[in-house]
Structures are given as C-alpha cells and as structure tokens.
Structure 1
Amino acid sequence: MTSATSTPVASGSPVAATATTSPTPQRPAAVTRPRARGWQVRFAILVLIWGFSFLFIKVGTQGFAPLQVTLGRVTFGALVLLAILVIKRERLPRSARTWGHLAVAAFFLNALPFSLFAYSELTIPSTLAGICNAASPLWGMALSVVALSEDRPTRRRVAGLGIGFLGVLTVLGAWQGFTGTDLTGTAMALGASLSYPIGWIYVRRTLAGSAHSHLSMSSTQLLLATAQLAVVTPLFTAAPASYPILPLLSVFALGALGTGFAFLLQYGLVAEIGPTTAQMVTYFVPVIATAAGVALLNERLSWNTPVGALIVLAGAALTQSKPRASAARRSTVTD
C-alpha cells in the first residue's frame, strides 16, 4: 500500500477508513461497467446496517447495561473480522508501536463512542442519537484546522460549520430553553460524534501509510477495544441475571453486522469508488435511523428534529465540499 488518507465514516466503522492514492491501471469499459453499477447496492446495504445500528443499541440496552452492549458489540465484530483474516491467511501486526497506536485508536473510535451512544440511548430516542452522529463531520472540520496543518479554513467550511451549529440548536429546540430534551443524554451522543474525528486525526498522524492491510489493522483495533471493555465492564456492571433473546440478537446484529460485516462493505467501497464518495454514507444514516425509530420503536418526532437534522447535514456536506475543478482552472487561466 502506498500513501493513504483517512476518511470520516459513520459510527459503525471499526477503524478510520483509508484508501490508497496510487493510480490504478485502466481496464476495458466492459469490465468496469458492472462494478460501477454494483457499488450502489452495497452502498445502500451499508446505509441500512449503520442506520439500524441505533435501533439495535436501544433494544440492546433494554436487556443489558450499556457497557455490556458495547462489549458484546466489539466482541462479535472482532470475531467476524478475525474469521475473515483467517480465511484470507493474513496476520495481525507484530510491531509493538503499531499495537500501541491502535490501542489509542480503539479507545477513541470504538470503546468510548460506542459506550457513549449506548448510555445516551437510556434517556434519548434512537432517532436523536442517529442525528447527533451526523455532527461528526462538523467536529472533524473544526479539529482538523487545528491539528492538521494541510487543512486550511475556507469561507465554505466556516459557513458549513456555522450552518451545522444552527442545525444542532434547532434539533435541541434552543428557543424553548431545551425543554423536552435530556441534555445529559444528548451531550453524550454529541460527545460520541466528537470522539470519532479525534480518533481519525490520530490515526492519520500516526498510522497513515502503514504496510498492514485494513483488515489486519481493524481486527487488531477491535481486539484491543474488546480487551479494554473486558477490563472496565466488570468494574461498573453486574453480570446479567438473564439473557433476553431480542436484546441479545440486537447486540449480535450490532456487532456482527454493524461493526464487522459493515467494515468489509465500507473497505470495498472506499477501494472501488474512493473515500470522498464512500463517506457520503454518513449523510444517509440519520434518515434510516429516524425512520427505524419512528416505525419500529414508536418514537415521536417534533418538527424541529427532522428540520434540524437537514440543516446539520447541509452544514456537514458544505464543510466536506470542494470548489469545482472548472472554477479552479478558470482562476488559473485568468491569473
């Protein structure tokens, strides 16, 4: 693998996505067309899996403590990736330095945000948690300006950040004094969305360009997240008195599908269509999370929730957009 760039992804991803930037050899049109049509189906499946993740969290916390839900999530996700690792006959990294960096990534990209989302959904609807997740690109833009020297603030990005902030205030109903919204739960969900870009930036600064495969790195990361939660969970929770089937199945789906299988889908998309297009999944996840919460959990929506969500997504999209190449070329010609 040559040089790599990290990409913001949705909450279900076990690791910050990376994609090689080296050019790929051109292939005959007859070969590439089927792949060009096929990625939309996998994109839609990924959106559905990550959109339903917030419903799975809500159902899981009805039978287990939040930390237990998170421990089960990373455990089942790690088992899926390890099984694929064995099938492909790949190995885990051997460098202690790599394991050390991945331990930090496991905390910020898995253990912490997954736990915060699980705790938040004890007091807020899954729809609101899904919408708060959409604020992650906004946090990422703000942090990258400070932490990454190559990311310079532009008028477009600053405007997007401001619009996104207004969207968050709209979701929370700021003009009503935040009545009807559990601020602690909402703060936890927003904190989870902040944790992701912290992890992405860390990975980008320490592990970009690693010779190890994405599968190897993500398997190691989930193993480390499982170890972290296996130590912490018994200290703060008692062993479950029972294992109700629906919450148990939800935790299994959350881990095996939302954290394991979904990564394989996302990795394939990033490799095929590039990180910029693949990261657009982030903007569709709140739509599915909201639809699932309303239809299957009977969660209620006030008008400001979907309106605020649209504003947040518009702001996030604006922070990620770039000037058109044609405009840049015209500027070069006139100069």
Structure 2
Amino acid sequence: MNGFMGRSWAWARIGVLALLWGSTFLWIELALEALTPVQATCGRCVLGAATLLAACLGTGRKLPRDRAVWGRIAVAAFFCNALPFAMFSIGQQSIDSGGAGVLNATTPLWSLLIGVITGAERSLRPSRLGGLLLGFAGVVLIFAPWRAAEPGGWGALAVVVAAAGYAVGFTFMSHFLVGRGIPTLSLSAAQLVAATALTVPTLPAGGLRPVDIGPGTLTAVVILGVVATGVTFHLTYRNIAAEGATNTATVGYLLPVVSVALGVVVLDEDFGLRSAIGMAVVLAGVGLTRRQGRAPAPVREETAGDRAVHGGLPRHGLSRHGLSRQERDVRQ
C-alpha cells in the first residue's frame, strides 16, 4: 500500500510539475512584450529566489554553509537556471511558446546521451538507441535547417541548448547535491540565489533599458518568477531527489501538450503540420528511450545473518526507520 501511495504521489508531482513547467513558455512570451531577454532572465531568478528564501524563513530551513557545497550549487545554477533561462528568453523572440515547449521535450534525450557518454548508461539497447536517433530526427524536422531563411532557426537552436542545459543540470544535481542530508528546499533556494548572482552581471548587455510595463505584463512577470520559477524549481528538486534525474526529465512527455495548448488558446499561435509531425517524432523517440528491459531478478530476502553482517541495518542505504537518505531529504 505504501508503495502504491508513493507512486501515486510521484505521478501527482510529475503532473503538477508538467502543468506549471509547461505554462512557463506562455509567461515568458508575455513577459517579453515589455522586457528584454536579459531583464526577463534576471527578473525570474530574483523573484524565484525571493519566493524560496521566504519559504525557508517560514519553515525554519537554513541555506547551506559549506563552501564546497556552494561551489557545486553554482555549477548546477549555471546549467539548470542561468543558461536555460537566458536561452529560452532569447529563443522565444523568434519562435512561439508552443514550439519552445516542443523543443524542450528533448531534455530526456540529452539525459540519455549524457548517460552514454559518462558511462552511467552501461548498456544501450537497440530500442533506446533507435529512440535517441528518432528523437533527434524530430528536432531536425522542427528546426528545419533547410529553411535557413526563416528567422526562427536560431531561436530553435537556443531552445535546444536550453534543453541540453537542463539535462546536464539534472544529472549534476542528482549526483552531487541531492541525497546528502541537505533539505531540498534549502538546495533549491540556494541554487536560485546562485543563479541570480550569475545573471545580474549580464544586465549591462541589454538589461538596463527603461521598462514600460502594464498591469497584465507585470502579472505575467510575477507568475513567471514566483510560480513558474520558484515553485516549479523546488518541485523539480524534490522530484530529482525522489525519482532521479532521468525520470524527472520525462516530464517532457507532457510539456509540449501544455505549452502548445496554451499557445494556441491564449496567444492564438499557429501550430503547423511540420511542427506537429516533429513533436510526434520527438515524443515517439523519447518513449522508445524510456522502454524498460527485462525485469531484474528478484532480490533475495535478507536473513538474520545478513543483517548481522550489515550491523543490524537493512541494505540499499536504508536507515533504521526504513527511509533512504534521499527520501529523508525529500521529506525535509
């Protein structure tokens, strides 16, 4: 029963994350009506960091103090926040919000590719290799390099770079930050603080222009920073701690549906046949990469002798209370 409830909560988190994350592209599009890409990037980092710092203050959580941890947080903040946030803002100057959401769905493909390169994916089954190739073929179809005259080409490339940045960031966070006894709220707040420190120095590059912003656009900017950045990023961190980087990246299955639907309904965007086919090809490729192989052999139940060897504690990193270190971090 506990396992079923745990999986239900995991899927609920993924669903909420997909809705919030998928709406991000809409809010970026609206924010860019009054802000430059640099201003939009800095603004969402500042508001997101302020939101999570307030949550830390309200719950009694403290930011990490170890300098080595902050060094790792800075690396994660670059790949998972500063770089992709800037690339999305730049890319959406020339491509619509629905297209950005579709291209962001390539994040699981980049995660798999990183796993192959780093050796984390020790065996790449033919189906997963085929999915990887098929997914990137879909990206090429959306990117349409043969139509170089179209201004959206460079925008699409920027969004693909953002998706790859997410994949690197998720993998780094999974390996070097989560599961180390630091609450995920503290980590997510610290990372957005670091992202703010990385993006503010870029303001002279187009971010010092006077802003003439109306109530509607201001609302979009606040939602982008508080909800689509602060809340969404914390949910992402929790999901990485509970489900791992690769499973978290699979939220990309649902992102295109949300982003395209919002773009068409709210912004009256045109979703062409080539983009629709490209999205289908990308998602089919992602689906193939997520196919499971044979079920692993059942784990032998531990005996009293086994527990004696392990000091009376069960294996698999469980504490005496039956919770793994990562699960304890998530509950914090």
TM (norm. structure 1) is 0.80
Give the structure 1 partner of residue 188 of structure 2. 218
Amino acid at match of 2:269: E
1:86 maps to 2:57? yes
Q: Please list the CA deviations of residues 227-265 of structure 1 after superposition, one character each: whole Å capped at 9, or x if unmatched.
A: 111121134322423222222211211111111122444
Identity, in percent, stands at: 33
Please say which of residues 306-315 and 55-64 is displaced more in the overlay: 306-315
Q: Please list the CA deviations of residues 118-159 of structure 1 after superposition, one character each: whole Å capped at 9, or x if unmatched.
A: 011111111111111001111121122112445432212211
1:134 maps to 2:105? yes
Q: Is the 8 A contact 1:101 1:206 kept in 2?
A: yes
Q: Is the 8 A contact 1:92 1:219 kept in 2?
A: yes
- Go from structure 1 to structure 2 and tell me whether the alpha carbon gap of 1:276 and 1:123 turns closer, same or farther (over 3 Å shift): closer
Q: Is the 8 A contact 2:107 2:249 kept in 1?
A: no
Q: Is the 8 A contact 2:108 2:250 kept in 1?
A: no
- RMSD (Å), alpha carbons: 2.7
d(CA) in 2 for partners of 1:208 and 1:36? 19
Aligned length: 298
Please say which of residues 107-116 and 73-82 is displaced more in the overlay: 73-82
Give the structure 2 partner of residue 73 of structure 1. 44
Q: Please list the CA deviations of residues 83-107 of structure 1 after superposition, one character each: whole Å capped at 9, or x if unmatched.
A: 1111221111111111111111111
SS in 2 for 1:236: coil
Q: Is the 8 A contact 1:93 1:99 kept in 2?
A: yes
Q: Is the 8 A contact 1:138 1:161 kept in 2?
A: yes
Q: Is the 8 A contact 1:70 1:115 kept in 2?
A: yes
- Go from structure 1 to structure 2 and tell me whether the alpha carbon gap of 1:298 and 1:222 turns closer, same or farther (over 3 Å shift): same
- Post-superposition offset of 1:324: 3.8
d(CA) in 1 for partners of 2:10 and 2:121? 31
- Post-superposition offset of 1:205: 4.2
SS in 1 for 2:254: helix
SS in 2 for 1:289: helix
d(CA) in 2 for partners of 1:189 and 1:295? 22
- Go from structure 1 to structure 2 and tell me whether the alpha carbon gap of 1:124 and 1:87 turns closer, same or farther (over 3 Å shift): same
Q: 2:213 aligns with which of 243, 258, 280?
A: 243
Q: 2:17 aligns with which of 46, 69, 80?
A: 46
Give the structure 1 partner of residue 200 of structure 2. 230
1:98 maps to 2:98? no
d(CA) in 2 for partners of 1:317 and 1:185? 25
Give the structure 2 partner of residue 22 of structure 1. none
Map of 1:276-315 to 2, 5 A cutoff? 279-315=249-285
Q: Is the 8 A contact 2:37 2:89 kept in 1?
A: yes
Q: Please list the CA deviations of residues 274-308 of structure 1 after superposition, one character each: whole Å capped at 9, or x if unmatched.
A: 87765542210111100111111111121121121
d(CA) in 1 for partners of 2:246 and 2:155? 31
Amino acid at match of 2:281: I
1:64 maps to 2:35? yes
Give the structure 2 partner of residue 115 of structure 1. 86
Where structure 1 has 5 or more consecutive residues not aligned to the other structure, the ranges are: 1-25, 331-335
Q: 1:206 aligns with which of 176, 179, 195?
A: 176
Where structure 2 has 5 or more consecutive residues not aligned to the other structure, the ranges are: 299-332
d(CA) in 2 for partners of 1:196 and 1:99? 19
SS in 1 for 2:203: helix
Please say which of residues 279-288 and 252-261 is displaced more in the overlay: 279-288
- Go from structure 1 to structure 2 and tell me whether the alpha carbon gap of 1:329 and 1:296 turns closer, same or farther (over 3 Å shift): same
Q: Is the 8 A contact 2:178 2:241 kept in 1?
A: no
Q: 1:197 aligns with which of 140, 152, 167?
A: 167
Amino acid at match of 2:214: P
